[in-house]
Structure 1
């Protein structure tokens, strides 16, 4: 009989937790659901205005939100005015929501490192003004831009900490292991990982399973873009209905330290506003069921 390691057991079992009474289907994680901030991004509602997305989040029963894209690109990025960034924060609070992350795009180092640093500082400032504790930066692997791109993050890490903003790297055309390598090179306590299993599948055309990619990442992950995937390269999938095994993924990451944090739904199956809101609700209920 084969002897399984603990990690192998977790990957081949339903989840590294306990199954509740037979027939309930509820899965117990190593920690209480109260430790998880289950939210959704504005991107769920596509190219609609961010205000419609915030209203949709409330209607779908969320308490937490993440900023990403809306009708005019990124909701809050390095080019947003301070006044607008502050207004976005007020609109979120007005609806009884709590902002947990801002996916504000990249800093531009194509002209110079100094310009990249200035742009990243503006993003940090605007993120602080709208009230987010975390910014997500999409990782890059372009050999021409890599050195100044990650150098800018090094130079801004202390500045972000002073503003109360944590910097995270998110897989975007790469796998989590690549992002971890960059985080380790940066070597700053204010720079962590924001995982995205759907992007891992997407970047590798479905060949790299996040369950394999996630091994070794848990101690660095502070949040997750909850994104599912279907072949050939579809990420417009309601979480829990595609190829990503979220219960097992959380178990693997949890074994290494990711036992609390933000789980933010990024995409669902496409349709009109009512459909998107209904799917967002289903995604929330799914995440609640696997972290209960």
Structure 2
């Protein structure tokens, strides 16, 4: 048992880099996912994971599978999409969710065309779904930088982010930091899918952000515990997915996301605010 669970992480350097990168992503992505969920912007994370694809594809076309150019390209395009969608919603009659959907669909189609134009289907699969088992030192360093930056930003602006999340009109009425905090939050939403580009790919990076957050919602109503629970779920999913990928020879990114999905389903059934608890409470009230 010990050899099956801990052996791969002790014996192989690529597994050690994979687990370090996955745990850092868990600490960084999960709290951002909690704020997205509480703001009812869960699909915005999905849109951002699609929107970064053209930039990553352009970096791939120019420099190959080098994580630094792909990350810079993804970050630039992601910010352009986020700001463009915000501008359209502000200066036209269209709502932000509709403009975001339009921008990310255009970006997704453009990115797939760019990769398919010069690359192979294998290259396209790598960009879309990544491979955490193939993390090199440069990719791991980038994950460390982005994760620490996210943690620092959340720590410094925690109260403002919570206020802007739960009651943005109140924050704008008592302070001028509402708009800068919103921009900072959108930057974090773009940074974290970019951070997960190499490990789980552009299409699955939002899974590690949103599934643990959605699962944590079934266990508590308070924001700080929800963030810690989401981090724990993301970390457990990463470890389980890596072991599943190693022992069953499965793609690492989908294995991690499916592990998070399994915990989400378990939480919907057995969580403190899940199906069984609600059914039991309803039955008890009826008998009383």
Of structures 1 and 2, the one scoring higher in RCO (CA 8 A, sep 6+) is: 2
Which is richer in strand?
A: 1
Which is richer in helix?
A: 2
Calculate the TM-score normalised by the size of structure 2.
0.28
Calculate the TM-score normalised by the size of structure 1.
0.28
